[in-house]
Every structure is written in C-alpha cells, then in structure tokens.
Amino acid sequence: MTTAQDKTNNESCPAEGLLKLLAGKWKPQIFRLAAESPLRFNSLLRQIPGANRQGIASALKELEQEGLLRKNVISLKPLHTEYVLSERGHTLLPVFRQLEGLSQL
C-alpha cells in the first residue's frame, strides 16, 4: 500500500524509487549487464564474481516481477532463455547511470 508520504518522497527523489527496485545483492549487476546486451543464466554466473545459482535465479525473478527485465524463451534447439531490459527498465537507465557516476566520487 502506497501512502501519501511514500508518493511525496518518490516524487522528490526519483533515485529513491530505483534504489528500492534494485535493492538486493545481485540486482544492480544484473541490471547493468542487461543494459549492455541480452543475458543468459549461465553467462550471468560467469560474469558476476561470487554469484550463486539460487541468488541469481531469485534476483532475475524479482527483476522480472518488478517489470525491469523481460524473459524471452528462444525456441531453437536446444531451448534457451534470455533476459533483456524491458521498456520500463530502459526508462530507468538515465537514473541508474547517474547513480553509477555518484559511486565513483
């Protein structure tokens, strides 16, 4: 349930909403990698140091539920799945890039 206070805070600071969406151990790394190219599960495991199958699976599911990623099932043999940034995810990229810039200060 969203309160008037929450709505006011999100309107005054767009980054706060993004931070809530990307809160989690692997979500920021997955979001950044998805902005660069489509992702496959095993590729993520190789690209994110210390990542584990359960953590990546959970983060992918949450990012998909939040509407930031879209899951595409590719019906080639063998069948495989790719994760791509959704339209909503693309709209959040400018804020994400600003946050990345702040972390380098």
CB atoms within 10 A of CB 19: 14
15 and 95 Cβ atoms separated by less than 8 Å: yes
**Which of 2, 29, 21 shows the shortest CA–CA distance to 89?**
21
**Total domain count, the chain:** 1
**Which of 1, 59, 63 shows the shortest CA–CA distance to 25?**
59
What pLDDT sits at residue 77?
A: 82
Q: How far apart are CA 30 and CA 32, in angstroms?
A: 5
**Placement of tokens 């140091």 in the chain:** 49
In this predicted structure, the answer to whether residue 9 has a pLDDT above a threshold of 60 is no
pTM higher than 0.95, yes or no? no
pLDDT (tens digit per residue) in 35-89:
999 999 999 999 999 999 999 999 999 999 999 999 999 888 888 899 999 999 9
3-state secondary structure of 94: helix
The domain that contains 13 carries what CATH number? 1.10.10.10
Full residue range of the structural domain in which residue 13 is found: 4-103
